[in-house]
C-alpha cells in the first residue's frame, strides 16, 4: 500500500519536474570540471529547507544522480573527467569521440548509467539491511586489502608497458604522501605551506593530467598539420552495442553496488574496479584504452550503480558514507527526519517515495542523455583555435572552483605540463590518478590496522582473504591467458 | 565632446565607488561573504549553511558562502584576519582556533579577530558497542587501569580536539588506552565501534547519533557540564565523578578592528538565526548544542579554552611556538 502511495506522490507533475530538473542541473554541474555533486547539492540545500521533505529530497537525489552521470560528457568530449567517478570513462570515451563516434560514446554511457542506476536502486529496495550489516564489517584491515585490489587495476590502465604503469602509479602514491600525516602530525613535503598541509587534491591533478595535457598536445599537433576538423558520424547505438551493455550490466552493477555501500569508497573506486574486471575478462583486452565500448559501459554502469549503494548506509544506519550523502542527511534533519531503522517504521511512505523517486531519476538520465547525444558531439566540430583556449579556460576555472584557491590552479598547470611529457614517455595518466586515489586509502588503513591490532587481520579476516583471492585472480588471469595463447600458437 | 562626457562619467563612477563603503550605520549595504575553512558537505559546512540561510533574513542582505578548506581552518583564519575590517568578510571557527597557534601551524588565535558570536558546541564523548562489557565510565576506566594500553579507542589524528578529549581523560585518571588514528576524522569512529573493529571511540554526540539511535552503540560519558538536549539518557562524565570537560565550539569571526556597531548588527542577526525554529530543529535532530554567547562571553570562553589546550598540548608533547 505504501508503495502505491509513494508512486502517487512521485508521479505528479511537480515531483517529476523537480526530479528531471534536478538531474538536468546535476548533469551540468557534473559535466563542468571542478564542480562536483557535493557542491551542487550544497548550493541547493538551503532551498530545500522551505520545501516539503519529499520534494526537497527528490530534487537533491535527481541532482546527485545527474552529477554522477554528467562527468561522462566532459570525459568523452574533452578528455577532462568532469567529476572523479568519470576518470575511467575518459580512457575509452575520448578515443571513441576522436574517431568521430562521440554520440555513440554518450549513448553507451547513458544506457549503461541508467541500467546500472536502476540495478542500484533495486538492490537498495530489496537488500538494504543486509548490505548495511556487510558495510559495518569493513574495518581498516578490509579497506587496506580493498585498496590493493583496486591497485591491481594498474595492469588494466598502464597500456603497453607494465613497467611504465607501475612508475606512473608510484608517482601518484608519492604525490599522495604530501600533507599532514594523520598518525604522527608530521608535515610531509609541505615546505611550510598551509596549502599543502591538507595534501594535493586529486581533482586539479586529474584536470591537468587529462585536460590541459591534451590541449598542449593538440596545440603542438596543429602547428604541424594545420587545422583538422573532425567528422561526426555514428550518433546512435547499434543492436550489437546494446548487447554489449546488457552483457556488461551484471558484473558492473554488482561491483558498483557493493563498493558504493562502503563508506569512503564510492563511485570512483567502483568504476576503477569495474573497468579492471571488464578488461581482464574480455577476449581482446588490448582494445581497452583505444575506444572500447565495453570500457565506457563498465565505468559508467558501475559508478551510477554506486548511487543506490551509497544510500544504503545513509537510510538504514544514518551513516553518510560520502559528502553527497552527508548533504542528504542534512536535508532530512532539517525536517526532523533522522534516517535509520526507525525511519522505515515511522515514515514508510517517505522511504518508498525516496526509492521511487530515485528510480525516476534514473529514467531522467535516459531522457537527457539520449536527447543530448545528438547535439553534444557538435562541440567537437568547433574549430580548434576556438576550442583549445576554451578548454584551457575551463581547466583553470574548474581547478579554482573546487576550493577557491589559485594554488590549485598552479597544481593543475604543473600537472598539465607533466601529463604532456608523461604521455610522450608512454606513461598513462590514469596510472598516476590510481596511485593518487588509492595510495592514501592503502597507507591510512594499513597504519590504522597496525595501530589497532598489528598486521595479522589483513591476512586472517574472511573478507580480506576473499579480496586477496580476487586480487590474485585479476593479476594472474591475464598471464594464464597469455600462456594459453602462446600454447595455441606453437601447436 | 565625447571625451569630456567619458571623463565626467568616469569621475562619477569613481566618486560612487569611494563614497559607498565606510559608513557603519549603513551596514549591511551589500552581500556579506562567509568563509568556511572546511570542505563542502562537512560538519562546519552544513551547520553554517543552515545558520546563514536564517541569518540572511535578519541581516537584510544575502550571505555568500565560500569554502576555503586548508589546514583544518588555518587557511581561512589567515584570510579572514587579513580582510578589510568592515564586516563584509566573516567566517567560522572550531576549536582549532586555539590549537593551531600552540602547535606552530599559524601564529594567530582568537585575539587577532573580533568574535561575533559563539553559536554551537559539540562536546566530546566516549562510545562503546551495544553489547560491550562496560556499563559505566567507571568500569571502563578501572578496566583500563588494570590493562594499560590494551583497550583500543578510535580517536582521530594527534592534536585534533577529538583526540585531546580522550587524552584529557587519560591524564586526569592516569590510565593508558591504545589510541587508533582515523584518517577521516572522528566520523569513522562510531562505525568502527559498531563493526567491532575497536573497543570504543571518542566522538561528539552529533557524530555518534545515527548509530546510537540505531541501537548499535551506547555512550559511557559525554564531556560537557550538562546533558545534551538531544541525548537525555546519555550521562555526562561529570555526573559520574570525572572532571572531564572538552568542548569543540564554533564562533563567527570578523577581522580585528571591525566597528562595534557592525559586530553588534552581525551578532543580532546570527543570534536570531541561532534561535530560529529551522536552526533549532536541525541542531536538535543532529544532536548538536546551540549557544548564543556574545562577544564578551565568547572571549571568556576562548581564554579558558586557550589555557586548557595549551596545557594539554604541552603534556602530550605537541606544543610548539608558532613562527
Provide DSSP, B12-42.
Answer: HHHHHHHHSS--GGG--SSPEEEEESS-TTS
Strand-pairing partners, residue B320, are B103
Nearest Cα of chain B lies from the Cα of A403 at a distance, in angstroms, of: 5
The domain boundary, picked from B240, B262, B285, lies at: B240
Interface contact flag, A342 B180, Cβ < 8 Å = no
Calpha distance A308→B215 (Å, rounded): 24
Task: Please state the domain count of chain A.
Answer: 1
* Minimal Cβ distance to B70: which of A46, A197, A324: A197
Other beta carbons less than 10 A from residue B39's beta carbon: 20
- B53 and B149 share a domain? no
Report yes or no on B8 lying in a domain.
no
Strand-pairing partners, residue A180, are A187
Strand-pairing partners, residue B200, are B128, B153
Match 571568556 to its residue by C-alpha cell. B300
Closest CA to B228 of B286, B184, B183: B286
The domain boundary, picked from B240, B262, B295, lies at: B240
**Domain containing residue B160:** 125-240
Calpha distance A168→A172 (Å, rounded): 6
pLDDT attached to residue B19: 45
Phi, psi of B53 (to 5 degrees): -60, -35
Report yes or no on B2 lying in a domain.
no
Report yes or no on B269 lying in a domain.
yes
pLDDT digits (tens, 9 = 90+) for A377-434: 887 778 888 888 989 999 999 899 878 889 999 999 999 999 999 999 999 998 999 9
pLDDT digits (tens, 9 = 90+) for B141-192: 999 999 999 999 999 888 899 999 999 999 999 999 999 987 766 778 999 9
**Domain containing residue A217:** 2-490
Rounded to a whole number of angstroms, the CA Rg of chain B reads: 22
Calpha distance A281→A462 (Å, rounded): 25
Arithmetic mean of pLDDT, B180-209: 88
pLDDT digits (tens, 9 = 90+) for A299-315: 999 999 999 988 998 88
Interface contact flag, B282 A448, Cβ < 8 Å = no
Residue of B nearest to A135 (CA): B195
Q: State how beta strands B200-202 and B217-222 pair.
A: unpaired
* Minimal Cβ distance to B184: which of A183, A264, A339: A264
Asked whether residue A266 carries a pLDDT value surpassing 90, the answer given is no
Instruction: With beta carbons less than 8 A apart as the criterion, state whether B107 and B321 touch.
Output: no
Cβ-proximal residues to B237 (8 Å cutoff; 6+ apart), any chain: B126, B137, B169, B221, B222, B223, B243, B244, B245
Dihedral sign from CA coordinates of A346, A348, A354, A357? negative
Asked whether residue A108 carries a pLDDT value surpassing 80, the answer given is yes
- Chain B segment 203-222 residues within 8 A of A by beta carbon are 209-211, 213-216
Q: How far is CA A427 from the centre of its chain?
A: 21
pLDDT digits (tens, 9 = 90+) for B214-254: 899 999 999 999 999 889 999 999 999 999 999 999 999 99
CATH number of the CATH domain containing B285: 3.40.190.150
Interface contact flag, B285 A341, Cβ < 8 Å = no
Phi, psi of B200 (to 5 degrees): -150, 170
Instruction: List helix spans (H) across A404-428.
Output: 406-424
The three cell numbers locating residue B209? 547519533
Q: State how beta strands B63-67 and B32-36 pair.
A: parallel
Closest CA to B235 of B246, B224, B222: B222
Secondary structure of residue B244 in the 3-state scheme: coil
Cβ-proximal residues to B17 (8 Å cutoff; 6+ apart), any chain: none
- B65 and B112 share a domain? yes
pLDDT digits (tens, 9 = 90+) for A271-301: 999 999 999 888 888 899 999 999 999 999 9
Interface contact flag, A198 B42, Cβ < 8 Å = no
Instruction: With beta carbons less than 8 A apart as the criterion, state whether B217 and B128 touch.
Output: yes
Which site among A177, A451, A461 would you substitute to test the B interface, given the most B Cβ atoms closer than 10 Å to its Cβ?
A: A451
Asked whether residue A23 carries a pLDDT value surpassing 70, the answer given is yes
Of residues A42 and B6, which shows the higher confidence score? A42
Report yes or no on B7 lying in a domain.
no
Cβ-proximal residues to B263 (8 Å cutoff; 6+ apart), any chain: B87, B114, B116, B254, B295
- B139 and B235 share a domain? yes
Residue of A nearest to B184 (CA): A264
Of residues B102 and A129, which shows the higher confidence score? B102
Exposed / middle / buried, residue A125 (Cβ in 10 Å: 0-12, 13-18, 19+): middle
Calpha distance A156→A271 (Å, rounded): 12
> Which residues of chain B does A337 touch, with a Cβ-Cβ cutoff of 8 Å?
285
- B76 and B39 share a domain? yes
CATH number of the CATH domain containing B160: 3.40.190.10
DSSP state of A212: I
Provide the mean pLDDT of chain B: 90
Calpha distance B157→B32 (Å, rounded): 34
Instruction: List helix spans (H) across chain B.
Output: 2-19, 43-59, 74-82, 96-102, 137-146, 161-173, 189-194, 205-213, 260-274, 277-286, 295-315
DSSP state of A229: P
Report yes or no on B141 lying in a domain.
yes
pLDDT digits (tens, 9 = 90+) for A205-215: 999 999 999 99
Q: How many CB pairs under 8 A join A and B?
A: 149
Interface contact flag, A339 B210, Cβ < 8 Å = yes
- B53 and B145 share a domain? no
- B228 and B129 share a domain? yes
Calpha distance A372→B255 (Å, rounded): 48
Report yes or no on B19 lying in a domain.
no
The domain boundary, picked from B190, B215, B240, lies at: B240
Asked whether residue A36 carries a pLDDT value surpassing 50, the answer given is yes
Nearest Cα of chain A lies from the Cα of B85 at a distance, in angstroms, of: 21
Report yes or no on B60 lying in a domain.
yes
* Minimal Cβ distance to B194: which of A45, A136, A444: A136
Exposed / middle / buried, residue A230 (Cβ in 10 Å: 0-12, 13-18, 19+): middle
pLDDT attached to residue A225: 47
Task: Please state the domain count of chain B.
Answer: 2
Report yes or no on B4 lying in a domain.
no
- B173 and B94 share a domain? no
Match 557524530 to its residue by C-alpha cell. B207
Closest CA to A171 of A363, A348, A404, A431: A431
Asked whether residue B3 carries a pLDDT value surpassing 80, the answer given is no
Phi, psi of B64 (to 5 degrees): -95, 120
Match 588490448 to its residue by C-alpha cell. A286
Asked whether residue A229 carries a pLDDT value surpassing 70, the answer given is no
Amino acid at each position: 500500500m505504501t508503495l502505491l502511495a509513494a508512486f502517487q506522490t512521485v508521479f505528479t507533475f511537480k515531483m517529476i519536474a523537480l526530479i528531471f530538473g534536478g538531474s538536468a542541473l546535476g548533469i551540468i554541474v557534473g559535466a563542468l570540471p571542478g564542480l562536483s555533486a557535493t557542491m551542487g547539492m550544497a548550493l541547493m540545500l538551503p532551498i530545500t529547507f522551505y520545501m516539503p521533505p519529499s520534494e526537497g529530497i527528490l530534487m537533491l537525489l535527481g541532482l546527485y544522480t545527474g552529477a554522477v552521470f554528467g562527468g561522462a560528457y566532459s570525459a568523452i568530449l574533452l578528455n577532462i573527467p568532469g567529476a572523479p567517478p568519470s576518470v575511467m570513462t575518459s580512457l575509452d570515451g575520448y578515443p571513441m569521440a576522436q574517431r568521430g563516434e562521440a554520440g555513440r560514446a554518450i549513448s553507451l554511457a547513458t544506457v549503461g548509467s541508467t541500467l546500472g542506476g536502476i540495478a542500484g536502486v533495486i538492490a537498495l529496495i530489496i537488500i538494504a539491511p543486509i548490505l548495511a550489516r556487510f558495510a559495518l564489517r569493513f574495518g581498516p584491515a578490509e579497506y587496506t586489502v580493498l585498496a590493493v585490489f583496486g591497485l591491481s587495476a594498474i595492469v588494466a590502465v598502464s597500456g603497453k608497458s607494465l613497467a611504465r604503469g607501475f612508475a606512473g602509479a608510484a608517482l601518484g602514491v608519492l604525490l599522495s604522501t604530501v600533507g599532514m600525516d594523520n598518525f604522527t602530525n608530521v608535515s610531509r613535503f609541505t615546505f611550510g605551506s598551509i596549502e599543502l598541509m591538507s595534501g594535493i587534491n586529486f581533482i586539479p591533478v586529474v584536470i591537468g593530467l587529462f585536460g590541459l595535457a591534451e590541449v598542449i598536445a593538440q596545440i603542438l599537433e596543429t602547428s604541424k598539420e594545420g587545422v583538422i576538423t573532425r567528422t561526426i558520424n555514428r550518433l546512435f547505438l547499434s543492436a550489437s552495442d546494446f548487447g554489449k551493455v546488457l552483457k556488461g550490466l551484471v558484473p558492473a552493477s554488482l561491483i558498483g553496488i557493493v563498493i558504493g555501500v562502503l563508506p569512503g569508497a564510492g563511485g570512483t573506486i567502483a568504476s576503477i574496479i569495474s573497468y579492471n574486471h571488464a578488461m581482464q575478462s574480455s577476449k581482446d583486452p588490448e582494445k581497452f584504452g583505444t575506444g572500447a565500448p565495453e570500457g565506457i559501459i563498465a565505468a559508467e554502469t558501475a559508478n551510477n550503480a554506486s548511487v543506490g549503494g551509497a544510500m544504503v548506509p545513509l537510510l538504514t544506519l544514518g551513516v553518510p558514507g560520502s559528502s553527497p550523502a552527508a548533504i542528504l542527511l542534512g536535508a532530512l534533519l532539517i525536517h526532523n527526519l533522522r534516517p535509520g531503522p526507525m525511519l522505515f517504521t515511522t515514515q514508510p511512505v517517505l522511504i518508498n517515495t525516496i526509492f521511487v523517486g530515485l528510480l525516476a531519476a534514473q529514467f531522467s538520465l535516459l531522457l537527457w542523455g539520449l536527447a543530448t547525444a545528438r547535439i553534444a558531439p557538435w562541440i567537437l566540430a568547433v574549430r580548434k583555435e576556438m576550442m583549445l583556449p576554451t578548454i584551457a579556460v575551463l581547466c583553470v576555472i574548474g581547478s579554482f572552483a573546487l576550493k577557491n584557491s589559485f594554488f590549485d590552479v598552479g597544481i593543475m598547470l604543473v600537472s598539465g605540463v607533466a601529463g604532456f611529457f608523461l604521455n610522450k614517455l608512454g606513461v598513462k595518466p590514469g596510472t598516476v590518478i590510481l596511485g593518487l586515489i588509492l595510495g592514501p586509502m592503502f597507507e591510512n588503513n594499513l597504519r590504522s590496522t597496525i595501530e589497532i591490532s598489528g598486521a595479522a587481520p589483513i591476512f586472517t579476516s574472511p573478507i580480506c582473504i576473499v579480496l586477496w583471492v580476487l586480487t590474485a585472480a585479476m593479476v594472474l588471469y591475464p598471464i594464464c591467458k597469455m600462456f594459453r595463447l602462446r600454447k595455441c600458437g606453437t601447436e | 565632446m565625447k571625451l569630456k562626457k567619458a571623463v565626467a562619467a568616469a569621475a562619477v563612477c569613481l566618486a560612487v565607488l569611494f563614497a559607498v563603503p565606510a559608513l557603519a550605520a549603513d551596514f549591511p549595504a551589500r552581500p556579506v561573504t562567509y568563509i568556511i575553512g572546511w570542505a563542502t558537505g562537512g560538519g562546519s559546512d552544513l551547520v553554517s549553511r543552515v545558520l546563514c540561510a536564517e541569518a540572511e533574513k535578519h541581516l537584510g542582505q544575502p550571505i555568500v558562502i565560500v569554502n576555503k578548506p586548508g589546514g583544518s581552518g588555518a587557511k581561512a583564519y589567515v584570510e579572514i584576519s587579513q580582510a578589510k575590517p568592515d564586516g563584509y568578510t566573516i567566517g567560522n571557527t572550531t576549536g582549532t582556533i586555539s590549537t593551531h597557534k600552540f602547535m606552530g601551524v599559524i601564529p594567530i588565535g582568537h585575539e587577532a579577530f573580533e568574535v561575533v558570536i559563539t553559536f554551537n558546541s559539540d562536546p566530546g564523548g566516549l562510545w562503546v558497542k551495544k553489547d560491550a562489557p562496560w556499563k559505566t565510565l567507571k568500569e571502563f576506566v578501572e578496566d583500563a587501569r588494570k590493562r594499560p594500553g590494551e583497550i583500543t579507542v578510535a580517536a582521530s589524528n594527534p592534536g585534533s580536539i577529538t583526540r585531546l578529549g580522550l587524552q584529557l581523560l587519560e591524564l586526569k585518571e592516569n590510565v593508558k588506552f591504545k589510541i587508533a588514528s582515523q584518517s577521516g576524522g572522528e566520523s569513522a569512529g562510531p562505525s568502527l565501534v559498531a563493526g567491532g573493529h575497536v573497543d570504543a571511540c571518542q566522538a561528539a554526540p552529533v557524530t555518534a547519533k545515527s548509530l546510537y539511535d540505531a541501537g548499535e552503540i551506547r555512550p559511557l560519558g559525554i564531556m560537557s557540564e550538562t546533558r545534551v538536549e538531544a541525548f537525555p539518557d546519555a550521562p555526562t562524565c561529570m555526573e559520574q565523578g570525572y572532571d572531564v570537560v572538552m568542548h569543540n565550539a564554533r564562533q563567527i569571526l570578523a577581522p580585528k578592528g571591525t566597528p562595534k556597531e557592525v559586530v553588534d548588527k552581525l551578532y543580532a542577526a546570527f543570534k536570531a538565526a541561532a534561535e530560529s525554529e529551522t536552526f533549532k530543529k536541525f541542531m536538535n535532530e543532529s544532536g548538536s548544542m546551540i549557544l548564543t554567547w556574545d562577544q564578551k562571553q565568547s572571549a571568556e570562553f576562548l581564554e579558558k579554552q586557550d589555557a586548557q589546550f595549551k596545557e594539554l598540548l604541552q603534556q602530550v608533547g605537541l606544543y610548539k611556538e608558532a613562527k
